[in-house]
């Protein structure tokens, strides 16, 4: 039984009005941003730029998928949402509109939401995309744990958003979430051992690792309760 270190639970966001003005098109300085289903899907040209999990949680593509002014529209869209207190998570994907259109041309919001969320949960938290392949990152354990905490905080925000959108959809992400958690646990255990062997493991590093462990435990116990932490992670939590 894990004692003395209660799981981290973020405070529920205060009630706010929707960030999206209920208009089919928002005229931005860089171009037009089209709104589908009252801001649940935001598009430009022939691509989805962002999907709304809730009025306060959005996932947006990391880079503009089209040509011309789409990049400006994307960044202005993200800035608009952030200015209205919405959490925006960037996802590395390219998302054409016709992937989610039915025979009538209407977009399937939930199908788009599931696609964005699965893509996000498929990312490897131990392999930063900005580091070239075959290069082993060297960083202090405290930095690794801090980056991991930020990553799992984003995971928590995405899953909170999915819960707000439709809690039944959570059943579609259990295996992806479990795979991500296992990769992270193995990686962090290895980094802790290497740090200890090098004589670089101190109390400050231990606290940062513990903070990350508690957040991971909180997320998994809530969103994938069947998941079993590795013994080494459980030992650190005790």
- Residue 210 is predicted with a pLDDT of 93
- Residue 6 is predicted with a pLDDT of 53
- Residue 138 is predicted with a pLDDT of 61
Provide mean pLDDT across the span 105-133: 79
Residue 1's pLDDT band (cuts 50, 70, 90): very low
Determine how β-strand 41-44 pairs with β-strand 47-54: antiparallel
Domain ranges of the chain: 25-115, 125-237
Q: Closest by alpha carbon to 156, among 46, 21, 60, 13? A: 13
Choose the most confident range, by mean pLDDT, from 30-44, 126-140, 224-238.
Answer: 224-238
Give the CA count within 13 Å in the CB-facing half-sphere of 108.
12
- Residue 35 is predicted with a pLDDT of 85
Q: Is the model's pLDDT at 177 over the cut of 90? A: yes
| 47-61 confidence digits (pLDDT tens) | 899 998 887 889 999
Provide mean pLDDT across the span 138-159: 88
Q: Which residue has the higher pLDDT, 217 or 99?
A: 217
Chain Cα centroid distance, residue 103: 31
Whole-number average pLDDT of the chain: 83
C-alpha distance from residue 39 to each of 16, 35, 63, 70, 138 (Å):
15, 5, 20, 18, 42
C-alpha distance from residue 109 to each of 24, 86, 99, 218 (Å):
15, 18, 11, 28
Q: Which residue has the higher pLDDT, 28 or 89?
A: 89
**Residues 76 and 30: beta-carbon distance below 8 Å:** yes
Beta-carbon contacts of residue 228 (< 8 Å; ≥ 6 apart): none
**Residues 170 and 163: beta-carbon distance below 8 Å:** yes
| 126-141 confidence digits (pLDDT tens) | 865 545 555 455 678 8
CA dihedral (63, 65, 71, 74) positive or negative: negative
**Token pair recorded at residue 182:** 């296992």
How open is the CA angle 108-112-114, to the nearest 5 degrees? 120
- Residue 38 is predicted with a pLDDT of 76
Cα separation, 69 vs 66, whole angstroms = 8
């Amino acid at each position: 039984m894990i004692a003395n270190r209660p799981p981290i639970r973020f405070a529920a966001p205060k009630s706010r009005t929707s960030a999206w003005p209920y208009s089919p098109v928002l005229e931005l300085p860089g171009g037009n941003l089209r709104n589908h289903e009252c801001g649940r899907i935001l598009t430009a040209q022939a691509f989805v730029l962002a999907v709304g999990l809730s009025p306060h949680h959005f996932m947006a593509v990391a880079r503009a998928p089209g040509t011309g002014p789409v990049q400006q529209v994307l960044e202005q869209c993200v800035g608009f949402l952030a200015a209205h207190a919405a959490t925006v998570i960037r996802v590395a994907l390219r998302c054409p509109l016709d992937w989610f259109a039915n025979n009538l041309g209407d977009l399937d919001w939930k199908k788009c939401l599931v696609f964005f969320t699965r893509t996000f949960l498929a990312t490897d938290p131990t392999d930063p995309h900005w580091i070239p392949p075959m290069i082993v990152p060297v960083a202090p354990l405290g930095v690794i744990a801090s980056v991991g905490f930020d990553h799992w905080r984003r995971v928590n925000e995405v899953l909170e958003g999915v819960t707000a959108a439709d809690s039944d959809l959570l059943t579609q992400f259990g295996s992806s979430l479990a795979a991500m958690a296992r990769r992270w646990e193995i990686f962090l255990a290895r980094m802790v051992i290497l740090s200890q062997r090098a004589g670089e493991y101190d109390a400050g590093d231990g606290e940062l690792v513990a903070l990350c462990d508690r957040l991971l435990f909180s997320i998994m116990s809530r969103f994938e309760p069947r998941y079993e932490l590795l013994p080494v992670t459980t030992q650190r939590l005790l």
